[in-house]
Chains A and B, each alone.
Chain A
């Protein structure tokens, strides 16, 4: 138990569906992240929220829409995805320190997404 909880753990959806991934952190951290992990590829940083403000959006397609209603919760809304979007989506949180140090990332167990 890392203090970061992701739901659902597994999700199968069609290309026309709308679904959401949820992440909750119980660590009092001030930053939250979405990463995408595809087979045999590096983790791709998708979004970063720092004190609920989005500070990073790495050219992610608009069919992925993040939402951070408060510092403990992070969502990833999914709409009209493609089969190549199938991957493990990992949420993480950290306590950003002074002088822009990220510190340790605490990851959830991930949401395994399959797009048919």
Chain B
């Protein structure tokens, strides 16, 4: 069954703008991960944040985690057309990895 739920389902922005995607979940977690998927391809891991961490950065990516609200956000700064893809959050609860339905991000050149 689904664990994470991403919001919004779809997001369209101009190149150079920032993109923010949110994820909410229901149970306790060991860690939360964000993945990216280009159309019809496999998922690629972007970043992992542990349950005892609140914020993490990787290049143009910034992830936050609020375990009290059971939510996470992924911020992509200075977006590029190549960032166009679907983005998924996944929660890890004792080796049980569950994904949401994803946010479809379109970055217009």
Q: Which residues of A contact B (CB under 8 A)?
A: 2, 4, 6, 31, 33, 35, 40-43, 45, 48, 50, 55-56, 58, 88, 90, 92, 94, 96, 99-110, 112
Contact = CB atoms under 8 A, between A and B. Distances in A.
Interface stretch (B11-19, B72-80, B96-104): B96-104
Contacts of A2: 42, 44
B87 interface: no
B45 A102 contact: no
B61 to A, nearest CB: 14
28 contacts: A6-B42, A31-B95, A35-B99, A41-B101, A42-B2, A42-B99, A42-B101, A43-B43, A43-B88, A45-B96, A45-B97, A56-B96, A58-B1, A90-B42, A100-B94, A101-B95, A102-B95, A102-B96, A103-B48, A104-B33, A104-B48, A105-B33, A105-B35, A107-B35, A107-B43, A109-B41, A110-B40, A112-B40
Given A33-B97, A40-B101, A96-B95, A88 B40 contact: yes
Nearest to B4: A42
Interface of B: 1-2, 4, 30-31, 33, 35, 40-45, 48, 88, 90, 92, 94-102
B45 A105 contact: yes
B45 A106 contact: yes
A6 B43 CA distance: 13
Contacts of B2: 42
Residue of B45, B90, B95, B99 with most chain A CB atoms under a 10 A cut-off: B95
A95 to B, nearest CB: 11
Contacts of A100: 30, 94-95
